[in-house]
Amino acid sequence: MEGLSRLEYRGYDSAGFACIHPEDNRLRYVKAEGKLHNLVAQLELFPVDGFTGIGHTRWSTHGASSVRNAHPHFDCEKAISIVHNGIIENHNELKSRLLQTGHSFHSDTDTEIVAHLFESLSKTHKTFKSAVVDLVSYLQGAYAFIAIMQDQPDMMVLVRKRSPLCIGIGDDEMFVASDMLAFAGKTNKVLFLPDESFSLVRKDMIELYYFDGTSLPMQVQEVQVSWDTYEKQGHDHYMLKEIYEQKGAIHDTVDFLHTVHDRIWDNMGVTAQDIVQLNSINLLGCGTSWHAGYIAQFFFEQICMIPARLHLASEFRHMPLFAQSNSLYVAISQSGETADTLEGIRLIKSMSFATVALTNVSSSTMVRECDGFILTQAGREIAVASTKSFSTQIAALYWLANRIALEKKIITSAQMEQAEEDLLVVAEILENCIENYKMQIMQTYAKQYAQYSKMIFLGRHISYPFALEAALKLKEIAYIFATSYPAGELKHGPLALIDADMMTFVFSHPDPIVYQKIVSNVQEIKARDGKVTAFAFEDQQQLIDIVDVAFVIPRVKPLLGSLAMTGLMQFLFYAIAKELDCPIDKPRNLAKSVTVE
């Protein structure tokens, strides 16, 4: 259960556990809907135990989040039990065939077909090994699954294609998981299953094979990963704790980058010469990480003066990839496990371009698969809504843009030091803004904003991607609909939405020219009796005077304006979600890390 709880970041729609009872070698199992604590409660009522067991926490892909669809799944005889991550894309076709041959199904999942297919193939093959070789020839998609069988009570079958799977080698015991964090503290010896491989594992023996059945050499690594338990330290939610950790996390990130200043290109898997010749940069990510990349696009273009292209990783694989020499592909991901981003990286690597992971997790799949990496120092982020990972990504990308500019001799060492100093100043401002408005938000504003069911968020230039991030935060934790536009786009259509029930948030910009345009856009809304809340900078009096509510932020360097607003925006939306009594740390339907495409 401890191991499973560490994997709950991959999903918390349901959970289940199965093991082979040592006395009769029969499979026993318990499943529960919802979060892992429901399974723990079930296990207290109906204890099961054994020497070989598998468990799973699910993020629903096929079929509702019910007990029926919770893993593990079984074959007809309930003699084979399977847990699975990923998606079997041709499950419909396989299911029809299995139904025709008399199999009966008890869930709506794609996973269950694997158990039935394995059941029928095991009957026609002399060995498990040849049954697995045959099995994988039928399966399309990405998958990592583990099977246990009554016939072989001391063995597990592991199969991996694209989704991660690793074996922790203990003393007369083995651990298998999608992430080695699950068994951190039990063993540091790890074997990461190569792509398109399978393994037969016993407590003291591992066999490893390619999908075609030929033996694979085993590469056991010693990896130092620890698991620390993180308490809320007096905060009501992890999200609030993490909002307040941002100042320290930005400091730690800048300090860390400062210490690796001279060896950063080695860490990133490139040479100083590559950087000098760099004439474009490509950024990819999903969700909040994509928004951080969007903001960073302005850093690379304005500070290093090279074109930056931003890619939504979930779309990337379906778009034409134009080969660009002297380019760098930076994948941005808090977890380093997001399947869409990983698939993007694999595509880029297949074309022999350099890939760099910007991530918060040193033991992640992305760090292993990319040519190099940059680590943010946010510390473990538990709340599903990204907060400190977003601000540290922005800080790291701002630092990187300056570091590239230094290598290209666009800026001086003194300017590089100033950039680091500016980040530390903004980290201070980020926290001070929360403190300045905390009481008003808790006592007044949270209640007022909680009454709206829809909002429009506007920004311009760098504050537009920030508006996108703000809308994502509000939707994800408070379930309030919010849509974002570059402020100048409002008049091209969405202005029609303005009425007394619509709240518009405007995120200003320190630059005087961009600011004036924002003021004009706000006036267009006020002329139609719309309600407007602004995040404005000090001295932006015209804007402060025309809006209904203004949160005023101290002046910072224009490119760091959004970072300065980050804490206050997150705190305000946290307070709204709290007012609405939402499950803030684990919002419905979501997972901290989305490991399917």
Binding residues vs ligand AGP (CB under 6 A): 286-289, 333-335, 338, 341, 384-386, 472, 476, 593-594
Separation of alpha carbons 399 and 273, rounded Å: 19
Q: CB of residue 510 vs ligand AGP: minimum separation in angstroms?
A: 25
**What's the half-sphere exposure (Cβ side, CA atoms, 13 Å) at 464?**
13
Q: Nearest approach, Cβ of 461 to ligand AGP (angstroms)?
A: 22
User: In angstroms, what is the minimal distance from the CB of 575 to ligand AGP?
Assistant: 17
Where helices occur in 161-286 by DSSP H, the ranges are 238-244, 246-259, 264-267, 272-276
Distance CA 384, CA 566 (A): 17
Q: How far is CA 134 from the centre of its chain?
A: 34
- Closest approach of ligand AGP to the CB of residue 443, in Å: 26
Across the beta sheet with 355-359, what order do the strands follow? 308-312, 280-285, 327-333, 355-359, 372-375
Provide, rounded to whole angstroms, the least separation between the CB of residue 340 and ligand AGP. Answer: 8
Report the DSSP pairing between strands 355-359 and 372-375: parallel
The enclosing H or E element of 301 equals: none
Give the span between the Cα atoms of 221 and 168, in whole angstroms: 10
By beta-carbon proximity to ligand AGP, the closer residue of 246 and 338 is 338
Residue 215 in tokens:
């033996």
| 306 contacts 278 by C-beta, under 8 angstroms | yes
Considering the complex, what minimum distance in angstroms separates the CB of residue 179 from ligand AGP?
Answer: 12
Nearest alpha carbon to residue 578 among 506, 507, 474, 431: 474
- Residue nearer to ligand AGP on the CB measure, 242 or 422: 242
Nearer to ligand AGP, 374 or 472 (CB): 472
Beta strands across the sheet bearing 166-169: 174-177, 166-169, 189-192, 221-222
Closer by beta carbon to ligand AGP, 420 or else 476:
476
Tokens of 116: 């039935």
Closest approach, Cβ 360 to ligand AGP, in A, equals 8
C-alpha 402/C-alpha 397 separation (Å) is 9
Angle between helical axes of 413-440 and 561-579 (0-180°, round to 10): 20
- The minimum distance between CB 395 and ligand AGP, in angstroms, equals 15
Closest distance of CB 105 from ligand AGP, Å: 31
Peptide bond connecting 72 to the previous residue in cis, omega within 30 degrees of 0: yes
The residue among 198 and 574 lying less far from ligand AGP, judged by its C-beta, is: 574
Question: Between residues 120 and 387, which has the closer beta carbon with respect to ligand AGP?
Answer: 387
User: Which CB, 156 or 284, lies closer to ligand AGP?
Assistant: 284
Nearer to ligand AGP, 332 or 518 (CB): 332
Closest to 293 in 3D by CA, of 278, 275, 306, 281: 281
The region, left, alpha or beta by phi > 0 then psi within -120 to 50, assigned to residue 330 is beta
Question: Considering the complex, what minimum distance in angstroms separates the CB of residue 380 from ligand AGP?
Answer: 12
- Closer to ligand AGP by Cβ: residue 287 or 510: 287
When the beta carbons of 57 and 333 are compared against ligand AGP, the nearer one is 333
d(CA 500, CA 532) in angstroms, rounded, equals: 10
Other C-beta atoms closer than 10 Å to the C-beta of 1 total 13
Q: What is the identity of the amino acid at 585? A: D
Q: CB 285 → ligand AGP: shortest distance, Å?
A: 6
Whose CA is closest to 174, among 158, 163, 159?
Answer: 158
Q: Which is nearer to ligand AGP, 407 or 469 (CB)?
A: 469
Residue 316 token pair: 């990337």
The two counts, helices (H) then strands (E), for the chain are 20, 23
Least distance to ligand AGP from the beta carbon of 553, Å?
22
Cβ proximity to ligand AGP: between 158 and 345 the closer is: 345
> Which residue is closest to ligand AGP by CB?
287
Give the separation between CA 360 and CA 379, rounded to whole angstroms: 7
